[in-house]
Amino acid sequence: MQVTNLLRLRTQFVCALMLSISFVSNAFETESTTSSLNPNAKVAIALHGGAGTISKANLNAEQEKAYRAILEQALRAGYRALQAGEDGSVAVITAIQIMEDSPLFNAGVGAVYTYDEEHELDASIMHGRTKQAGAVASVKHIKSPIAAANLVMTESVHVMLTGGGAEDFAFKYGLEKVDNSVFNTERRKKALDSAKAKIQANEQAFFANPENADYKFGTVGVVVLDLHGNLVAGTSTGGMTAKRFGRIGDSPIIGAGTYADNDSCAVSGTGHGEYFIRFNVAADICARVKYQDKTIEVAANEVVNQVLAEAGGTGGVIAMDNQGNISMPFNTEGMYRASIDTSGKVTIGIYGSEK
């Protein structure tokens, strides 16, 4: 009996020792990844502002200029944060918030309408080092859904909060509360009115028709490689025009619309969310990099232009591996996109012809 007690005591001591060693080594790990920068470390950023039927015929010169300007503004703001040595999550949030505040994109102000003429916003973020993630879905009064998703990641024990629960949580942490009408724009209201007319004729046909991709484009997303070697991905959206209230798309679903893993890649998607969920698009791309040793270019193209396209899913992704290599494939006519690679080269594109 005494021997058993002694053994138990010894085991407890050894466990406590191991715990404290792992605590100390974790502390060192955190210390080294946040404070000592590798002078040769490189940063990279890629972002999207949605994929869809975007052609020169649908955009006049002035609109095109406005899109390019805001893409570049968001890109450079995120890049500056990376260069300053901020964690990748700061760069992702900074760039996404610029697009959430712009009426040009389907995220924050400018979000599409539900069939019931409201806005229900979804967002998520994932950190590739910790594999921690946060998401909010169907929120109506949070000015910056990506900031709320980040709070879920850093301050809660959960990964996803929806509706009133997400809002209550975000407001307790001081996020700005707004009336749902703050997200209103005339352009999206017109899109809703025309969608409703088609849906009344045939709801299934409306959502299945790839030509109706226009009714949702504008979701925003960012992927980065920070100076500490971390990949981070984030996505924010209003979803699909005329969606049923309560509908949740891929954007807040980790693995579907957003994924980041320092061992493989970071991805943010945009397109027909139901397909991205069913084909687990973001995680599938990273799995191909991780387990099949595929390059980011091959992995992202396979999933977007083969798996998704063959199933009838329209959309695109921005993807980055842990060396900062970038791939931005889409199977739609266009995708608002921009990137700065590890050599500092800036790319801004809208149409398929610019690939």
Report, in Å, the least distance between residue 50 CB and ligand ASP: 5
Q: Which amino acid is at 217?
A: F
Q: Is 248 annotated as a binding residue?
A: yes
Residue 292 in contact with residue 319, Cβ under 8 Å?
A: no
Report, in Å, the least distance between residue 112 CB and ligand ASP: 8
* 53 in active site: no
Q: Is 52 annotated as a binding residue?
A: no
- By CB neighbour count within 10 A (0-12 exposed, 13-18 middle, 19+ buried), where does 27 fall? exposed
Q: Is 116 annotated as a binding residue?
A: no
Report, in Å, the least distance between residue 221 CB and ligand ASP: 8
Which of 290, 255, 233 has the alpha carbon at shortest distance from 48? 233
What strands lie across the sheet with 44-52, from one edge to the other?
160-162, 133-139, 121-127, 231-237, 220-225, 44-52, 334-340, 346-351
**Which listed residue (219, 241, 314, 332) is catalytic?**
219
Q: What angle in degrees, to the nearest 10, is found between the helix axes of 88-100 and 145-155?
A: 150
- By CB neighbour count within 10 A (0-12 exposed, 13-18 middle, 19+ buried), where does 292 fall? exposed
**In angstroms, how far is CA 323 from the centroid of its own chain?**
19
Q: Is 272 annotated as a binding residue?
A: yes
Which residue's CB is nearer to ligand ASP, number 83 or number 280? Answer: 280
Which residue's CB is nearer to ligand ASP, number 240 or number 299? Answer: 240
Which residue's CB is nearer to ligand ASP, number 253 or number 296? Answer: 253
Q: Which amino acid is at 187?
A: R
Backbone angles phi, psi at 253, to 5 degrees: -95, 115
Q: Is 314 annotated as a binding residue?
A: no
**In angstroms, how far is CA 112 from the centroid of its own chain?**
17
Which residue's CB is nearer to ligand ASP, number 167 or number 250? Answer: 250
Which of 64, 44, 47, 46 has the alpha carbon at shortest distance from 353? 64
Q: What share of the chain is helix, strand, coil (3-state, %, to 5)?
A: 45, 20, 35
Q: Is 271 annotated as a binding residue?
A: yes
Which residue's CB is nearer to ligand ASP, number 134 or number 257? Answer: 257
Calculated CA dihedral for residues 301, 306, 312, 316, nearest 10 degrees: 0
Report, in Å, the least distance between residue 217 CB and ligand ASP: 5
- Chain residues in the site for ligand ASP (CB under 6 A): 50, 216-217, 219, 237, 239-240, 249-251, 257, 270-271, 273
Q: Is 247 annotated as a binding residue?
A: yes
Report, in Å, the least distance between residue 318 CB and ligand ASP: 12
Binding-site residue ranges for substrate: 247-250, 270-273
Q: Which residues are known catalytic residues? A: 219
